[in-house]
Amino acid sequence: MEHPPESHGGDRTGNRTENRTDNRTENRTENRTDNRSDIRDFLTSRRARLGPERVGLPTSRRRRVPGLRREEVAALAGVSTEWYTRLEKGHIGGVSEDVLEAVARALLLDEDERTYLLDLARAARPARRAARRRRRNDVEIPPSVQWMVDSMTMAPAFVRNGRLDIVASNALCRALYSPMFDSDTTADRGCANFPRYFFLDPGSADFFVDWEEGAKATVAVLRAEAGREPHDRSLRELVGELSTLSPEFRTMWASHDVRIHHQGVKRLDNPEVGRLELTFRSLNLPLAQGAVHDLTVYAAEPGTPSEDRLKLLASWTAPPTSTTEPLHPPR
């Protein structure tokens, strides 16, 4: 049985330790993320949603709170109740990955939630300063990436980072998402950002047919990124800004839902061509410094009104045909 995670509280050596100028301890504290509240809220919310009948335990009318009790989760994970209680309070830094996997199975976490829990644990451990300072969301986009998306003249395509900034896009994407690219939320920051547009521009509710579903998905992706990149200051500032200005974002963020959407359907009301129903696929795009952005491409089902409208929009954004005589190879 796993022992309780080690406490990092008081030291028995008294003043000698307190007065010791040991930079190693300071560096360990500096390089460790204090994400105990995120861990606590995530595990508590996952436990609360899980009824005893889902894990084969008898139901009882005497339950005062929804979901499983701590001791039930501990038993399912094969750890002591004391240990799990400390874990749920955020003391996760010294916990082995095998034990976290057992907790994930006990809570019936899906793959995205499991990854998020492991990311929280890695962030709580001491990290090298170089790794901590690496800002993968701000990596430079090579020109070849822009050339690639520009070549997709019949499909809206864009590249986004983990903060959901659009860092590269083609003309058809900008025409499709013209309300977002023309929004004050884009003009104020210099680049289009899905969360800002969703929650800070009232017009987004008219553009996204399924606004609430899309907003929740956006927050879930942002929550996953917060676990993956805990030292991204710009990400923390974005979450803080949206939490301050948008009650809807604040409520959705507090739900701790985590999702990574690689495919799906978007229904959009474009101001030029009307409503479109488009499928999308997102692919990982490895870049420098270990960064991995997402390349997203949209398409309409053949033979549908959405395909006709997308083709019309593409015809308006296509570059003018050259009138120059073609060059022939010498004979």
3-state secondary structure the chain: CCCCCCCCCCCCCCHHHHHCCCHHHHHHHHHCCCCHHHHHHHHHHHHHCCCHHHHCCCCCCCCCCCCCCHHHHHHHHCCCHHHHHHHHCCCCCCCCHHHHHHHHHHCCCCHHHHHHHHHHHHHHCCCCHHHHHCCHHHCCCCHHHHHHHHCCCCCCEEEECCCCEEEEECHHHHHHCHHHHCCHHHHCCCCCEHHHHHHHCCCHHHHECCHHHHHHHHHHHHHHHHHHCCCCHHHHHHHHHHHHHCHHHHHHHHCCCCCCCCEEEEEEEECCCEEEEEEEEEEEEECHHHCEEEEEEEECCCCCHHHHHHHHHHHHHCCCCCCCCCCCCCC
Highest CATH level, class, for 17-133: mainly alpha
**Which amino acid belongs to residue 104?**
A
Between 37-51, 131-145, 185-199, the lowest mean confidence (pLDDT) is in 131-145
**pLDDT, tens digit (0-9, with 9 covering 90-100), for 241-290:** 999 999 999 999 999 999 887 899 999 999 999 999 999 999 999 888 77
Query: For the residues 91-97, what does the mean pLDDT come to?
Result: 82
Mean of the per-residue pLDDT values of the chain: 84
Check residue 330 and give its pLDDT: 45
51-65, 105-119, 300-314: lowest mean pLDDT where?
51-65
138-317 belongs to CATH 1.20.140.10: no
Q: Could you read off the pLDDT of 129-184 as tens digits, one per residue?
A: 434 444 566 778 899 999 999 999 999 999 999 999 999 999 999 999 999 999 99
**In the chain, where are the structural domains located?**
17-133, 138-317
